[in-house]
A and B are shown apart, each in its own frame.
Chain A
Amino acid sequence: MKHPMRFVAVLAGVSVWLGVVPLASADETCNSPYMSNLIKGQEDFVHVWTLGEPGLGDASDKLVTVDANPKSKTYGKVVSSVSVGGRGEAHHMGFTDDRKFLWAGGLDDSKIYVFDVGTDPSKPKLVQTIGDLPAKSGFVGPHTFYALPGRMLIGNLSNAADKGGATGLALYNNKGTLIEKYAMPTATVGGVKGDGYGYDIAVNPAKNVFLTSSFAGHKNYMRELGDLMKDGEAMKNFGSTMVVWNLKSMQPTQVLSVPGAPLEIRWSLAPGQNWAITAAALTSKLWLVKPDAKGTWTAKEVATIGDPSKIPLPVDISITADGKGLWVNTFMDGMTRYFDLSNPEAPKETYSKHTGSQVNMISQSWDGKRLYIISSLLAHWDKKGADNEQKLQAFKWDGHALTSAFEVDFTKEKLGRPHHMKFTAKAGQSLALAAVRE
């Protein structure tokens, strides 16, 4: 990957190497498969997209940066925080293909904030705010930000007209201009009727396909969870499908029946594998998606997470780089579970730990030795009172047990509700400065 770069060597009198960044396959394991600079060593920073909390600090949504390098003097501490000047239900974020910028969305105000994390990842800067999603696409609730080469594919949750679950995908170029929009299918495709709902996106370039999953519209996700669960009609308005898309044509080729709001999708990153896994939140099941012998995509329930009758609510999954293990967080019971995925047709739970009163997103390092967990699901769905813990926790994983590495209390720090995480490594020093020092 590295090559002599003669011109700098000649000019600066030093040995320089130049390489083309490989587009390796995958927090680290859930990023777009062709994003550059996957961190396969020690991450330096964890960026946390955080919901503002009325009465707490500046009450604004913000990108909080925490030092994650054990060798650093500020390890486990907040090193910077960038507020966006408002509260719009900060939720998910994703890197651009070159990992220089983080796009972060608000599920309520539908704004998209672009942070420069490349110039100095210890101090991200807000460089652009994209506010035209509803007007130009008709969609609201930007959820998943998935890098395509030179573009950002955004999976939305709702629509501007009735704030229900019918929605679609919006494709922007990296400069922030909308290129195209694609409605989630509501017709029958491949024998199954689409419900029009959306949530996550996951691409498999080798098969020219991507998968989408389905959740709920603005009317549901912005409502108090207790009220929502008592409303039988509203509870019918959750997604129950996944969609297989042709990546080149951006057309749906199959709708798959996956009841119970299938959320995060992860492709196996093992070479030559062509299967993906997802967790259905309301039914607490793991589903395997793969092609059959004829190449037709199938979705099959393969495991149960906790006791579905108690609605543990699996909210995030994180697959190991070798595709042989899967972490699952369940919000309601605050459990973190590990499933052996050696046989993806029959995942087996082999470890579990109570990691908080409420736990949401879970991210692991490429080598699987470090695990990060945050607490907030949605402003109106988080627990009340003492159970409303809001923190980032870092753990070490030795293959047998999770041990605590550090914890940041986001309430004590007056930051808000931490929702989503991404990793970066330190920025390089200017070569010019180094040369001057020489």
Chain B
Amino acid sequence: MRRALSLALIACLTAGSAYGAADVGPGTAPRMDFTPLRAGTYQLQSIQPVGEATLLDEHGKPVKLSGLTRGKITLLTFFYTYCVDPLGCPFVHETLTQLRDRVIAEQGLARDVRFVGISCDPSNDTPAVLSQFATSFQSRSPFEWRFLTAPAVPTLLPVLDDFGQDVSVETDEHGRPTRTLHHMLKVFLIDAGGTVREIYTLAFIQPDVMMNDIRTLHLEQTAKASLVRR
């Protein structure tokens, strides 16, 4: 039974495409040779709405994804807890930690911003594992940084599909799976209305730009609220 379940999970996870001979080579750290535009002087595009899903939080409690992608400006990424790729999940989490500190330091911003991480390995990253993992990202000041997982891979697949988050499996020269999986690093900036407004792939993990994008959305949100009050 356990083996059958395992196979089903694997089958689901690998239902997407995969590439065999693609030797992707080493990654390149992002460069930033420019002064970012001042916050509020540009518009962020409305790329796509975030779909609904029910996932599990760090306590194993079912949560609607919309509850964590609406009402605040959200930076959302897919990760797995044991990733050690220096230009992968640890790099993103280090960047997000720095951003969190900058957000906290800016008056009135922290309460309107949250970070969300969704594991792309629900079999390993159980709520208990996430709960332990989350302790590394606690701050002295209140800040909402949540970690989610799925009850099973089939629940995760439509979420990955909706975000356009690729997870694929390599094959060897004979077309056999090498048990090597890849996923493309993406961080999604979502406005308080639940619309993706920017996507940062590795080349765009530029903290100063990301910070100004958060500020830009915050200014937009403040202006809208002001309009409503009038």
* Chain B binder among A85-93, A301-309, A427-435: A427-435
From B5, B28, B45, B164, A24 is in contact (CB under 8 Å) with: B28
A34 contacts B203, C-beta separation under 8 Å:
yes
B180 contacts A19, C-beta separation under 8 Å:
yes
Alpha-carbon distance between A183 and B138 when the two chains are bound, in angstroms: 46
* B108 at the binding interface (Cβ < 8 Å): no
A248 contacts B166, C-beta separation under 8 Å:
no
Within 8 A of B (CB), among A48-102: 69, 71, 97-100
From B48, B178, B180, B184, A23 is in contact (CB under 8 Å) with: B184
CB distance from A12 to the nearest CB of B (A): 6
Alpha-carbon distance between A272 and B33 when the two chains are bound, in angstroms: 10
A23 contacts B181, C-beta separation under 8 Å:
no
B19 contacts A425, C-beta separation under 8 Å:
yes
A14, A150, A424: which has the most chain B beta carbons within 10 Å? A150
A37 contacts B6, C-beta separation under 8 Å:
no
C-beta contact mask, A25-53 vs B, less than 8 Å → 1, else 0?
Answer: 10000000110111111111000000000
* B30 at the binding interface (Cβ < 8 Å): yes
* B25 at the binding interface (Cβ < 8 Å): yes
A21, A34, A99, A151: which has the most chain B beta carbons within 10 Å? A21
Alpha-carbon distance between A383 and B125 when the two chains are bound, in angstroms: 61
CB distance from A171 to the nearest CB of B (A): 7
**Residue of A whose beta carbon sits closest to that of B86:** A1
* B183 at the binding interface (Cβ < 8 Å): yes
CB distance from A13 to the nearest CB of B (A): 8
From B41, B87, B179, B201, A431 is in contact (CB under 8 Å) with: B179
* B22 at the binding interface (Cβ < 8 Å): yes
Within 8 A of A (CB), among B181-213: 181-186, 196, 199-204, 209
**Residue of B whose beta carbon sits closest to that of A20:** B88
B41 contacts A8, C-beta separation under 8 Å:
no
Point out the residues of chain A lying under 8 angstroms from B179, CB to CB: 5, 8-9, 12, 14-17, 431
How many cross-chain pairs have Cβ atoms below 8 Å apart between A and B? Answer: 262
* Chain A binder among B58-66, B96-104, B109-117, B169-177: B169-177
CB distance from B51 to the nearest CB of A (A): 11
CB distance from A377 to the nearest CB of B (A): 30
**Residue of B whose beta carbon sits closest to that of A434:** B177
From A10, A15, A99, B19 is in contact (CB under 8 Å) with: A99
* B105 at the binding interface (Cβ < 8 Å): no
* A11 at the binding interface (Cβ < 8 Å): yes
Within 8 A of B (CB), among A199-231: 205-209
* B10 at the binding interface (Cβ < 8 Å): yes
Point out the residues of chain B lying under 8 angstroms from A34, CB to CB: 201-204
* Chain B binder among A126-134, A172-180, A405-413: A172-180
Alpha-carbon distance between A150 and B18 when the two chains are bound, in angstroms: 18
CB distance from B33 to the nearest CB of A (A): 5
Interface size on A, residues (CB 8 A): 79
* A351 at the binding interface (Cβ < 8 Å): no
CB distance from B160 to the nearest CB of A (A): 11
A427 contacts B85, C-beta separation under 8 Å:
no
* B137 at the binding interface (Cβ < 8 Å): no
B183 contacts A11, C-beta separation under 8 Å:
no
A3 contacts B33, C-beta separation under 8 Å:
no
**Per DSSP, are chain B's interface residues mostly helix, strand or loop, or mixed?**
loop
A207 contacts B34, C-beta separation under 8 Å:
yes
* Chain A binder among B67-75, B76-84, B139-147, B222-230: B76-84
A69, A71, A118, A432: which has the most chain B beta carbons within 10 Å? A432
Known contacts A11-B123, A40-B23, A173-B47; A429 and B28 CB within 8 A of each other = no
Alpha-carbon distance between A149 and B184 when the two chains are bound, in angstroms: 10
Known contacts A16-B180, A22-B202; A118 and B17 CB within 8 A of each other = yes
B21 contacts A44, C-beta separation under 8 Å:
yes
From B15, B31, B37, A206 is in contact (CB under 8 Å) with: B31
Alpha-carbon distance between A278 and B177 when the two chains are bound, in angstroms: 41
* A246 at the binding interface (Cβ < 8 Å): yes
B87 contacts A41, C-beta separation under 8 Å:
no
Alpha-carbon distance between A274 and B32 when the two chains are bound, in angstroms: 12
Alpha-carbon distance between A248 and B35 when the two chains are bound, in angstroms: 11
**Residue of B whose beta carbon sits closest to that of A203:** B203
* A2 at the binding interface (Cβ < 8 Å): yes
Alpha-carbon distance between A428 and B209 when the two chains are bound, in angstroms: 36
B87 contacts A22, C-beta separation under 8 Å:
yes
A428 contacts B185, C-beta separation under 8 Å:
no
* B128 at the binding interface (Cβ < 8 Å): no
CB distance from A232 to the nearest CB of B (A): 42
CB distance from A370 to the nearest CB of B (A): 13
Known contacts A206-B31, A431-B14; A19 and B182 CB within 8 A of each other = yes
Alpha-carbon distance between A332 and B119 when the two chains are bound, in angstroms: 55
Point out the residues of chain A lying under 8 angstroms from B132, CB to CB: none
Known: A20-B202, A425-B21, A431-B169. 6 other contacts (CB 8 A): A18-B121, A19-B181, A20-B83, A20-B89, A24-B24, A429-B177
Question: What are the nearest 8 A-B pairs in CB distance?
Answer: A22-B27, A118-B17, A428-B18, A7-B123, A20-B88, A432-B11, A11-B6, A7-B124
